[in-house]
Chains A and B, each alone.
Chain A
Amino acid sequence: MSIFTKLMEKPWLAQPEGADPALLQPPPSYWPARTALRFLLVTITVVFSLFIMTLLGRSQLGDFHALAGEPWLPFDNPTQLWWNTGILLASSVVMHAALVLLRQQKQQAAALAVVGSAFLVLLFLLAQFAIWQQLETAGFGMTSNPASSYFYLLTAVHGVHLLGGLVALLWVLKRFWQQQSLARIQSSVRLCVTYWHYLFVVWLVLFALMTSSSSTIDSLAALCGF
């Protein structure tokens, strides 16, 4: 039943005794953690979208210079960022592998995969930090230019979300450690997989945006009405 037909219901009308569809229907699948995660992802999406919208708005003011598009700009040749992307992708893939392993009832291997994925996330964060330092020494510090400010800001916010994921992972590992039921572990790993993939996609968007040339950013901004 779509949300629209639901909203058209006339709730005051009595349902025949014993034939009330509301009582006959099986209860909806109970997985509040997944509902919460979905809403959380929507909220996080709003956060990143707003950051990106302000970036596009800000890009139309005189002092904004994109970080790519000209040979002397740091992200004109983003090899380093590609490496980092690879690390994060690996983390995502390994997390997914953990789920597959769980489906094959290989708890121990799955636990290892989860730990490996966490390790890869940490590696990614370190690599991002290394890029910060390179930028800083190349003269693209936090306050040098709004585009740089946004790079630090967006990568930091993305990193905080990854760290948040790692904290949540502690709960998952606890479930492994306590050898809770396979179903419980599997459901929490499934949520982690969703979150990991999501943050990977967010990173791709940020990556694309930060390595865009001025003209690309200008046309995006024009598209958004700035």
Chain B
Amino acid sequence: MTDSAIASHDEHYQASFGSKYIWSQDHKVIAIQYSITAIMVGVVALVLSGLMRLQLGFPDQFSFIDPSAYLQFVTMHGMIMVVYLLTALLLGGFGNYLIPLMIGARDMVFPVLNMLSYWTYLLSVLVLLASFFVPGGPTGAGWTLYPPQAILPGTPGADWGILLMLISLGIFIVAFTMGGLNYVCTILQARTKGMTLMRMPLTIWGIFVATVMGLLAFPALLVSAIMMFLDKVVGTSFFMPVIISLGETLDHTGGSPILFQHLFWFFGHPEVYIVALPAFGMVSDILATHARKNIFGYRMMVWAIVGIGLMSFVVWAHHMYVSGMNPYFGFFFATTTLIIAVPTALKVYNWVLTLWKGNIHLTLPMLFAIGFIFTFVHGGLSGLFLGNVVIDLPLSDTYFVVGHFHMVMGLSPILVLYAAIYHWFPKVSGKMLHEGLGRIHFWTTLVGAYLVFLPMHYLGILGLPRRYFGMGGTEYIPESAQALNANITIAALVVAVAQLIFIANVIISLRSGKKADPNPWGATTLEWQTPDNPPTHGNWGPEAPVVYRWAYDFSVPGVKQDFIPQNVPNSAVEVTDAAAFAEAGK
């Protein structure tokens, strides 16, 4: 890009530092703000998990971890990771950055709302972190926040901690709604010329469906948070039955704790897919790009995303098989849960089949994406145990559950996030991430985390209960279980430290990384075709791109290059073998 080009763009967008980087309405800046905040709060959650693992691996060695602190670590780790890191980073971060660029828009349709969304999100994070500093500390009710215990003494943080948690979630939901409306409207209304729905990259499909699901599912969390807040503060009895707590009879009358669980999981299960679907989408695009091959079964992938999105609203009670709800629900929810495995399995097959007969470049994003396939297969299969109602009887509430969901919605989406960061970092920053550091980061993360979560499944089968501060003496838990737990802790600490390599890599590469080509991976999607790298305000210069094809024209027969960007018309394609080109349906 020439200097005069920069100048001409700056004419369109004269801005002070404040409005450019802080009070910015540019989706790219907001995306970076979202990402940095989410990663920072994620580091807090990572540290908490390390502390938790210290207690589990080496019980009673660390004087600052007592039962209260342990439960607080567990709770905050879970809630931060699921909501404030994964949801925010995938939708607020990548959603914000990629939606306008991938669909050829100049920005979100409501830039001010977008900015407000970020600042509201930041507020929710600050309120959440504030709970570390109030009397009693943050809530230790478990990330599911089940009443009655969440708001009763006997649980750490039952006074201030839980209230701040509920308020923070409320604020987060407002932030998400503002952002979510923006994403949905942008995708529906601001697609550039030629960008039909079925020409959208799967990333956009994943983000789109996840956002719609979020708009439908987060209300359930809001409703339950409001009602629990009232139970705690005003003394209503929505969820609170008659209780004799620590020797004192409370004033509540016959509420239903199970009602809360239904609400929570009506949010909580779709939330799993709110995290998973954008990850599915991004990994599809990354696999296709780095294997130089079209995504296998694009239509099936879209249908699966939509189908999973719909189905995920009728499986929620599989988290409640042993909750004491009407046991006959088990038949229905086990069936729906196992049915949802079919489209999910198809997605896995299609990822592998995308690689099949491809031209696999084992770049860093590709490594992470392949790592994702491996861990996701493992986590998905262990989900078939828990979803099958009768197997859930022995395994529910044990380490098996912990192993399963960390594999499937902890490690797997995080591997995709890393794949995505390594993939899109050159576009965002104009610099390549360092290859060697990236490989060390990848190998320690994949192997280390697998060594953390694989053994947990077996401890669960043995019957180790989750959320236990210490196992104490039992008849059935052998000494060796503790030894295994110690090994898990060591692996977990190694993985945690390896994440520092990543952060160092980002900093080093930003300062002195190799300058990136505008399209270093030879990708077809629009964000790689911007006139400037990194894209500037307005994204496209004077002319918005026009889309002539789908996002997966890799290695088309009869074409010289092994990819055709979406904005290249057939007439501009360098065809070497017209017959083959025509036979491919072009």
Q: Give chain B residues whose Cβ lies under 8 Å from the Cβ of A32.
A: 109-110, 185-186, 188-190
Does residue B275 face the partner (Cβ distance < 8 Å to A)?
no
Closest CB-CB distance, A188 to chain B, in whole Å? 14
Contact B193 A39 (CB under 8 A): no
Does residue A204 face the partner (Cβ distance < 8 Å to B)?
no
Q: Give chain A residues whose Cβ lies under 8 Å from the Cβ of B185.
A: 32, 35-36, 39
Q: Give chain B residues whose Cβ lies under 8 Å from the Cβ of A146.
A: 236-238, 253, 255
Closest CB-CB distance, A138 to chain B, in whole Å? 18
Q: Whole-angstrom distance between the alpha carbons of A175 and B255 in the complex?
A: 48
Contact B110 A42 (CB under 8 A): no
Q: Whole-angstrom distance between the alpha carbons of A61 and B241 in the complex?
A: 10
Q: Whole-angstrom distance between the alpha carbons of A61 and B195 in the complex?
A: 53
B298 interface neighbour in A12, A46, A47, A50, Cβ under 8 Å? A12
Contact B254 A149 (CB under 8 A): no
B546 interface neighbour in A12, A23, A44, Cβ under 8 Å? A23
Contact A7 B181 (CB under 8 A): no
> Which residue on chain A has the smallest CB distance to residue B586?
A14
Closest CB-CB distance, B564 to chain A, in whole Å? 10
Give the interface segment out of A51-59, A85-93, A98-106.
Answer: A51-59
Contact B259 A20 (CB under 8 A): no
Q: Give chain A residues whose Cβ lies under 8 Å from the Cβ of B263.
A: 50, 54
Contact A63 B306 (CB under 8 A): no
Contact A23 B194 (CB under 8 A): yes
Answer whether A36 and B196 are a contact pair too, CB < 8 Å, given A17-B571, A146-B255. no
Give the interface segment out of B56-64, B143-151, B218-226.
Answer: B218-226
Q: Whole-angstrom distance between the alpha carbons of A185 and B182 in the complex?
A: 22
> Which residue on chain B has the smallest CB distance to residue A150?
B238
A14 interface neighbour in B219, B294, B549, Cβ under 8 Å? B549
Answer whether A149 and B585 are a contact pair too, CB < 8 Å, given A14-B570, A61-B255. no
Answer whether A10 and B234 are a contact pair too, CB < 8 Å, given A17-B569, A23-B194. no
B256 interface neighbour in A12, A20, A22, A61, Cβ under 8 Å? A61
Over the window 291-333 of chain B, the binary record of Cβ atoms lying under 8 Å from chain A Cβ atoms (1 yes, 0 no) is 0001000110011001000000000000000000000000000
Instruction: List A residues 113-167 near B (Cβ within 8 Å).
Output: 142-143, 146, 149, 153, 157
> Which residue on chain A has the smallest CB distance to residue B553?
A12
Q: Whole-angstrom distance between the alpha carbons of A66 and B424 in the complex?
A: 57
Contact A63 B215 (CB under 8 A): no
Does residue B563 face the partner (Cβ distance < 8 Å to A)?
no
Q: Whole-angstrom distance between the alpha carbons of A54 and B237 in the complex?
A: 12
Contact A142 B196 (CB under 8 A): no
Q: Whole-angstrom distance between the alpha carbons of A12 and B555 in the complex?
A: 13
A36 interface neighbour in B110, B198, B237, Cβ under 8 Å? B110
The contact size tier of chain B is 35 or more
Does residue B230 face the partner (Cβ distance < 8 Å to A)?
yes
Closest CB-CB distance, A185 to chain B, in whole Å? 19
Closest CB-CB distance, A163 to chain B, in whole Å? 14
Answer whether A42 and B550 are a contact pair too, CB < 8 Å, given A11-B298, A22-B196. no
Q: Give chain A residues whose Cβ lies under 8 Å from the Cβ of B216.
A: 42-43, 46
A11 interface neighbour in B177, B182, B550, B586, Cβ under 8 Å? B550
Contact B194 A11 (CB under 8 A): no
Does residue A223 face the partner (Cβ distance < 8 Å to B)?
no
Q: Whole-angstrom distance between the alpha carbons of A46 and B184 in the complex?
A: 17
Does residue B153 face the partner (Cβ distance < 8 Å to A)?
no
> Which residue on chain A has the smallest CB distance to residue B251?
A143
Instruction: List B residues 176-216 near A (Cβ within 8 Å).
Output: 177, 180-182, 184-186, 188-190, 193-199, 212, 215-216
Does residue A71 face the partner (Cβ distance < 8 Å to B)?
no
Q: Give chain A residues whose Cβ lies under 8 Å from the Cβ of B458.
A: none
Contact B189 A50 (CB under 8 A): no
B294 interface neighbour in A12, A23, A50, Cβ under 8 Å? A12
Q: Give chain B residues whose Cβ lies under 8 Å from the Cβ of A39.
A: 180-181, 184-185, 212, 215
Does residue B540 face the partner (Cβ distance < 8 Å to A)?
no
Does residue B547 face the partner (Cβ distance < 8 Å to A)?
yes
Contact B254 A61 (CB under 8 A): yes
Does residue B372 face the partner (Cβ distance < 8 Å to A)?
no
Over the window 525-551 of chain B, the binary record of Cβ atoms lying under 8 Å from chain A Cβ atoms (1 yes, 0 no) is 000000000000000000000111110
Q: Give chain A residues whose Cβ lies under 8 Å from the Cβ of B549.
A: 11-12, 14
Q: Whole-angstrom distance between the alpha carbons of A61 and B258 in the complex?
A: 12
Q: Give chain B residues whose Cβ lies under 8 Å from the Cβ of A42.
A: 215-216
Closest CB-CB distance, A38 to chain B, in whole Å? 9
Does residue A8 face the partner (Cβ distance < 8 Å to B)?
yes
Closest CB-CB distance, A1 to chain B, in whole Å? 10
Contact B547 A22 (CB under 8 A): yes
Q: Whole-angstrom distance between the alpha carbons of A120 and B569 in the complex?
A: 57
Interface centre among A6, A13, A30, A32 (most CB of B within 10 A): A32
Q: Whole-angstrom distance between the alpha carbons of A17 and B569 in the complex?
A: 8
Instruction: List A residues 56-74 near B (Cβ within 8 Å).
Output: 57-58, 61-64
Q: Whole-angstrom distance between the alpha carbons of A35 and B186 in the complex?
A: 10
Q: Whole-angstrom distance between the alpha carbons of A55 and B423 in the complex?
A: 48
B184 interface neighbour in A11, A35, A57, A63, Cβ under 8 Å? A35
Q: Give chain A residues whose Cβ lies under 8 Å from the Cβ of B188.
A: 32, 35
Answer whether A46 and B220 are a contact pair too, CB < 8 Å, given A11-B198, A12-B553, A57-B256. yes
B215 interface neighbour in A13, A28, A43, Cβ under 8 Å? A43
Q: Whole-angstrom distance between the alpha carbons of A6 and B303 in the complex?
A: 11
Does residue B266 face the partner (Cβ distance < 8 Å to A)?
yes
Closest CB-CB distance, B575 to chain A, in whole Å? 12
Closest CB-CB distance, B259 to chain A, in whole Å? 5
A62 interface neighbour in B189, B194, B195, B254, Cβ under 8 Å? B254
Does residue A177 face the partner (Cβ distance < 8 Å to B)?
no
Contact A63 B266 (CB under 8 A): no
Instruction: List B residues 49-72 near A (Cβ within 8 Å).
Output: none
Q: Give chain A residues whose Cβ lies under 8 Å from the Cβ of B181.
A: 36, 39-40
Closest CB-CB distance, B351 to chain A, in whole Å? 18
Q: Whole-angstrom distance between the alpha carbons of A217 and B344 in the complex?
A: 40
Contact A35 B189 (CB under 8 A): yes
A13 interface neighbour in B180, B184, B585, Cβ under 8 Å? B585
Q: Whole-angstrom distance between the alpha carbons of A58 and B259 in the complex?
A: 8
Counting from the closest, the 5 A-B pairs by CB-CB distance are A11-B550, A32-B109, A14-B586, A63-B254, A149-B236
A–B pairs, 15, beta carbons within 8 Å: A17-B569, A20-B548, A22-B195, A32-B185, A32-B190, A35-B184, A35-B189, A36-B181, A36-B184, A40-B177, A46-B220, A47-B219, A47-B223, A146-B236, A146-B237
Knowing that A11-B298, A51-B223 touch, tell me 15 more A-B residue pairs with CB under 8 angstroms. Answer: A14-B585, A22-B199, A31-B189, A36-B182, A39-B185, A42-B215, A50-B219, A54-B223, A58-B256, A62-B254, A63-B254, A142-B230, A143-B235, A146-B255, A149-B230
